[in-house]
Amino acid sequence: MSKHFKNYFYPAPFLSKKKMRGDKNNKKRCGVYFLTLLILAGGFLVWGFLRIDFAGKEIESISFRSYLKFEKEKPEIILEFINLDIPFISQAPYAIWDELHDRACEEAAIIMVDYYLNKKELTKEIAEQEVLSMVDWQIKNWGGHFDLSAEQIVELFRGYFGYGNIELVYPHHQKFGVGVYDFKIDDIKNELADGNPIIVPAAGRLLKNPYFTPPGPEYHALVIKGYDDEKSEFIVNDPGTKHGADFRYSYEILQNAVHDFNNGDILNGDKSMIVVK
């Protein structure tokens, strides 16, 4: 075959086969580079939706609020208002404020939380029967019906209802163990944002509830079910009054009033809380 006839089969007579193969390789390289750029661009888009904070060891999804929790760190507050749909009962469902019902705030708090978690209907009749049954349980197992410390509230919750997923939170400097840390207002709000109701023991008279019979209960227990950042208030179910449904205490008042029983020395009791999950 003549040289001129061979050149007829190539796009340009001045390009050799070697040159043509080089051009094809360059095109392949360009394709690889272009694909790499697309992958990098996609990575930046994903990074835009995820904030990665390795210093805090926490990864938070803005859209889905997913967390990887390490050690005892807590996620940031996302919502400004939370109010869990926890049913309310008074510790004296029929307004009979005898000695038994005067001491039944712990029982009422446990009942409200249990019926919320198990999505059960709660009426006055059911509440009264549960309170009496819980008192009987205590008399049988503990020899009487008394004011209960936070630790005893947890034990009653577990013993009577058989509920195990409860975290008792004490100040870190006095109690040690898994799930124990110094808690602040934001810790309460974070638990509520996760859908976890909270029971707190309190020095009742520091709550300054206008519906309490003066001077108010020396020791008390109530359920924290929400918060309102705009008004700086916690939303609670306070069983110490028939007006206790969705009652509000300021952050400052409730934080100041939280104290464990401490063998009757309530004002020096721990700032403890019970988180039920």
Give 179's contacts (C-beta < 8 A, 6+ positions apart). 72, 167, 169
Q: DSSP secondary structure string, 46-75?
A: HHHHEEEETTTTEEEETTT--B---TT--P
Would you state the pLDDT for residue 76? Answer: 56
Residue predicted with more confidence, 37 or 247: 247
Confidence at 65, pLDDT banded by 50, 70, 90: very low
Q: Which pLDDT belongs to residue 15? A: 44
The size of the chain, in residues, is 277
Q: What was the pLDDT predicted at 31?
A: 61
- Summarize pLDDT for 84-133 with one digit per residue, the tens: 999 999 999 999 999 999 999 999 999 999 999 999 999 999 999 999 99
Cα→Cα distances 59→159, 170, 209, 249, 264, Å? 37, 27, 41, 33, 44
Q: Would you tell me the crossing angle of helices 150-161 and 124-142 to the nearest 10 degrees?
A: 110
What are the φ/ψ torsions at residue 131 (nearest 5 degrees)? -60, -50
| Closest C-alpha to 244, from 271, 213, 223 | 223
β-partners of residue 233 are: 228, 250
pLDDT score for 181: 44
151 and 262 Cβ atoms separated by less than 8 Å: no
CATH homologous superfamily of 77-276 equals Cysteine proteinases (3.90.70.10)
Question: Where do the structural domains in the chain lie, given as residue ranges?
Answer: 3-50, 77-276
What percent of the chain has pLDDT above 70?
Answer: 67
Residue 63 CA to residue 218 CA, distance in Å, equals: 45
State how far the Cα of 76 lies from the Cα of 74, in Å rounded to an integer: 7
Mean pLDDT of the chain: 80
Q: What are phi and psi of 275, to 5 degrees?
A: -105, 125
* 83, β-bridge pairs: 226
Which tens digits make up the pLDDT trace of 217-229? 999 999 999 999 9
